[in-house]
A and B are shown apart, each in its own frame.
Chain A
Amino acid sequence: MLDDFNFRIIFEYMPLFLTGLRNTFFISIVSIMLALMTGTIACACRISSIKLLRYPAIAYIEIIRSTPLLVQIYFLYFGLPTLGVRVPEIQTGIIALMLNSGAYIAEIIRAGITSVDDGQIEAGVSSGLNYFQRMRFIILPQALGATVPPLLGQSIVLVKDSALLSLISVMELTRCGQTMTSERFMPSEAFLTVAFFYMCIYFCLKSLADWSQKKLIFREAY
């Protein structure tokens, strides 16, 4: 099989792939940052006792989690212009990824917060600490520790999900593979290269996740 493999063509298309890699990287980083912000705000609203904040947050989280990302992307891509909002593809893609991951991140953070034992919160209450002090000194330090590994997991998912943006012609990695395939008809070479670059990103994020987990376990034991 490898006899038929044309490695030369891969190098010929390397500049295109590197552009794709750069775009995937850029889209992922920006989306993760925005999704973290969205998720934190959505989570704060979700656990709020004010119904006017809580119910919209529940609606947002449930709608996103119950529909496919591709549908969400198409909805924004085709839907927004009919509403009179014209956004370039790459921004549309970032918004879609941000909204999608934001909902999952909101639930991850919420799980972290609820994982902190109620008894500790009562201990804080009974020694006179107010809500913000309990959040700052008791809940968040433990919740954040518990959420770092799943958040990095969600980041890995987001990087791979960004491949769907190729369907709205954003020039990211997968789109580069499609471009090369349609120009030269060499899908094996094209998508092997694409897969290789995704794996590179994946292993970077995974080693970050492993490292942070080790650090957390170490801190809990000691």
Chain B
Amino acid sequence: MAVSIGGLRRERVPISKEKLAKHDKGEGIDLKAKSTRIKNKVIRQKLKRKEVVYNNTVKDTARTELLLTEDYGCLEADCGEVTVQYKQKQIVDNVDITAAAKRFTLNLEFGPYYIKYTRNGRHLVLGGRKGHVAALDWVTKKLACEINVMESIHDVSWLHIETMFAVAQKDWVFIYDNQGIELHCLKAMYKVSRLEFLPYHFLLASGSKEGYLAWLDVSIGKFVNSFNSKVGKIAVMTQNPTNAMLCVGDTKGVVSMWSPNSKNPLAKMLCHTQTVAACAVHPYGTYMATSCPDRSVKIWDIRQLAGPMHSYYVRAPVEHLSYSQTGQLAMAMGNVVEVYRLSTDEMKPYMRHRADWTVTSMQFCPYEDILGIGTTKGVSSLLIPGSGEPNFDGLESNPFQTKSQRREAEVKALLDKIQPELICLDPVAIAEVDTSTFKNKIETKNSVLYLKPKNIDFKPRRTKAKGKGGTAKVVKTKKILKELSRKETIDMLRQTDSRSDTRKTKPQKDYGILNRFLPKSNKKSN
């Protein structure tokens, strides 16, 4: 494509194939004159014009990558060294002061800690098992609130904005605002062990110790669905961010995927032969990692529900897993955290950190090179270069959001709230042709062929008139009715048959007057 600027013809910057593939929207419609299935010329012309627009859109969006300002973080080892051997201390010494400030440790005493970052990676909420809850802007280290709920805490989760978070306490789930004021007590979420928030659907999902799954629409305060998943205690639960399904790992080694629309899992994967200890899904929905107490870690292709892509054993059983935006996988085994990078064929350890205490929860911070870990005695953040996406989209999630922007974004997000009915395995199903219902229609039509005529349950009226009643008469009427209904059914069958049978019959030879001696089936076709 060429553009003329000030009389000079300038070629536009070429786009690499990888970039085009990244932004590709899939194959277009086949509109070639020979092979196309669209007969109408006018429609074909219209579609052609549309295809051109789509292709240009793909090119233009791919070209905008030129304008991205930030670059990925990186860590390169010197000759004879490997990146695994670098300690956090060394990295902190070698980076600039603002990045160094992001490495911190909080020593707290309310024991094992659960942490969650907001979607823009700016805020952190931490909950200690012994009742300690704190929300803070971890970049500026500004504390929003700190309370003790005087109950055991099992999980924490942010809601759609940083002014509200949910805490799974001893019995019920509570929602607090960023000043620590209790807003709601959700008694319908009972003995919850895991919380997840689905931001585009505004659903707070919970899995309980008794195996119940519940989805609460936080925008209208209504429970979408709640049922017993029958997998026992839900100790491992995570969400697939691309299709909003909940992945629940059970003690039999099965990871099941749940949507609020069905009481049975939409998919089940037998991942291990023992209990699933941890499960993590790539933020872009490509891979799922699972671990097992037998020290194995497996990577699955979650889009095709196939795998394992990789399967191997580590030195100690992995208790927690977390994926970063660039696809780095963090594993926590006891007090050791290892970060792996997925190279083309093999998983290689990239960084290792030995925490002071056992790691109890772990999450990569979005849009930052940070891995947050909660331990039995506090919370700390580790620098993992190259783990975060450098260029955020200001309209999707913005770490530098101001209050007014946040309010604006909240309204926009609420307008775009996706209905829970749309949660299914394939996130683009809504934009595709609904072939399944059409198939169903055809099937029901075909099933008519196997119908039997209705049973006639005939009960005669009692008449006292002379010569009108009598058993013989009743039997006769019954017979007539039966015959009628049989005829009706045959008629119906014939109609469907004639529609479905479009095969052409071979023209038969005409024998003139002797046609009457032909077998019946042949006569019909003549």
Please determine whether chains A and B interact with each other in the same assembly: no
Interface, chain A (partner B; CB < 8 A): none
